């Protein structure tokens, strides 16, 4: 495959993020490692799906990508060059976000036209006539009628609002769109429309997506690659088809088992994930997944798992290292 030979469009190198959190009024702040050394690559026209339970660090990673948060350590590289945090302007031309909640992410007092044109104004691109033309093109692109431009967010349905958010993201002609749960707040019929739109736009404009979702069926539908996150670490990464056909990490398996496909002949599966999600302030020793793992061994409790690479991916698990295989 060409993956290894071409330079990735976007690269995350050993990103860590530590928050200081207080657990009580008088308690001393404790470090919370939201991200513990995340490395990921995104090639042009990839759709990298990032999955994992809530609180595992998906949104934190998205914010770091977008330059909205600074990593505690590690680098973000675009076209092989490290981006300077002071060059936010430059970054915005290449990377744009679409967030989950189309209700809170649009300013209710601004007209739809103003909302979509805002990035152009902020970055001082074009004059009012050319901005107005650009807005018209974007509305057409995302399938909204031209008349909504004078309207306000509260006059639109959830699906229409998400189209506005997509138009706002695309007006900067970005190469990469960071989608954080873009359809999670939508009804299934509207979700289908937005997923179809995102798929069409990718073909039409050659876009690359960093796509966060807790819905694995949606990720399977859209993603070309999938990364599975647990407590701030990527535990498995693979091509989407390979990961869904042959999940390797016990956590990936449990996640896939918990997808409820609409099959009335099946009942609710037992995921064997006994214990609940751990507190990131005091993560478990060894492999962080070991207290919930159905295949746990002694070594998992004491020693962090090795990274086992294969063509186009990796899994971090003792089960696949030669030493523990016996």
Partner 1 sequence: MSDPILSVRNLTIDIPMSQNTMHAVRGISFDLKRGETLCIVGESGSGKSLTSLAIMGLLSKKLQRAATRLDFAGIDLMSQKLRQMRDLRGNRMAMIFQEPMTSLNPAYTIGDQLAEAYLLHRKATRVQARMRAIELLGKVGITAAENRLSQYPHQLSGGLRQRVMIAMALMCEPELIIADEPTTALDVTIQAQILRLLADLQREMNMAMILVTHDLGVVARVADKVAVMYAGEVVEQGTAKEIFGHPRHPYTRGLLRCIPVPGRSKPGEHLGSIPGMVPSLVGRVKGCAFRARCDVAEEACTAAIPERRMESGHAWRCIHQAAERLSP
Q: Which does 273 bind (CB under 5 to 8 A by kind): partner 1, ligand ADP, Mg ion, none?
A: partner 1
Query: For residue 9, how far is the Cα from the chain centroid?
Result: 16
**Is the CB of 164 or the CB of 216 nearer to partner 1?**
216
Q: Which does 4 bind (CB under 5 to 8 A by kind): ligand ADP, partner 1, Mg ion, none?
A: none
Query: Which are the contacts of 8, defined by CB distance < 8 A and separation ≥ 6?
Result: 41, 42, 43, 77, 80
> Shortest gap between Cβ of 260 and partner 1 (angstroms)?
3
* Residue 282 contacts ligand ADP per CB under 6 A: no
* Residue 278 contacts ligand ADP per CB under 6 A: no
Residue 98's DSSP bridge partners are 179
* Residue 2 contacts ligand ADP per CB under 6 A: no
Site string for Mg ion, 56-95 (x = CB under 5 A): ---x------------------------------------
Yes or no: say if 216 and 228 are a contact pair by the CB < 8 Å rule: no
Binding site for partner 1 (CB under 8 A): 53-54, 157, 187-189, 191-193, 195-196, 199, 214-218, 220-223, 240-241, 244, 254-255, 257-271, 273, 276-277
> Shortest gap between Cβ of 238 and partner 1 (angstroms)?
14
Q: Which does 222 bind (CB under 5 to 8 A by kind): ligand ADP, Mg ion, partner 1, none?
A: partner 1
> Shortest gap between Cβ of 165 and ligand ADP (angstroms)?
18
> Shortest gap between Cβ of 271 and ligand ADP (angstroms)?
18
Q: Which residues from 31-90 bind ligand ADP, rule CB under 6 A?
A: 32, 34, 52, 54-60
């Amino acid at each position: 495959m060409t993956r290894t030979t071409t330079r990735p469009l976007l690269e995350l190198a050993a990103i860590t993020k530590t928050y200081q959190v207080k657990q009580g009024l008088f308690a001393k702040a404790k470090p919370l490692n939201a991200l513990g050394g995340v490395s990921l690559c995104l090639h042009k026209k990839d759709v990298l799906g990032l999955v994992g339970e809530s609180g595992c660090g998906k949104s934190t990673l998205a914010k770091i990508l977008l330059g909205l948060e600074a990593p505690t350590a590690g680098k973000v590289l675009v076209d092989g060059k490290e981006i300077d945090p002071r060059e936010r302007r430059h970054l915005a031309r290449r990377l744009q976000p679409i967030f989950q909640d189309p209700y809170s992410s649009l300013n209710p007092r601004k007209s739809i036209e103003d909302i979509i044109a805002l990035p152009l104004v902020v970055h001082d691109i074009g004059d009012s006539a050319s901005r107005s033309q650009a807005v018209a093109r974007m509305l057409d692109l995302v399938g909204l009628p031209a008349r909504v431009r004078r309207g306000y967010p509260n006059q639109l349905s959830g699906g229409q609002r998400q189209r506005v958010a997509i138009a706002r993201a695309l007006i900067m002609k970005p190469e990469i769109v960071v989608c954080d749960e873009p359809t999670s707040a939508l009804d299934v019929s509207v979700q289908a429309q937005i997923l179809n739109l995102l798929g069409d736009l990718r073909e039409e404009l050659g876009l690359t997506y960093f796509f966060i979702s807790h819905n694995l069926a949606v990720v399977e539908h859209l993603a070309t690659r999938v990364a599975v996150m647990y407590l701030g670490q990527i535990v498995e990464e693979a091509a989407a088809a390979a990961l869904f056909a042959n999940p390797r990490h016990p956590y990936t398996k449990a996640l896939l088992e918990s997808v409820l496909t609409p099959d009335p002949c099946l009942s609710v599966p037992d995921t064997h994930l006994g214990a609940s999600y751990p507190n990131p302030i005091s993560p478990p020793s060894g492999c962080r997944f070991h207290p919930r793992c159905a295949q746990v061994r002694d070594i998992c409790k004491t020693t962090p798992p090795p990274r086992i690479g294969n063509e186009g991916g990796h899994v971090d698990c003792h089960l696949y290292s030669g030493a523990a295989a016996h």
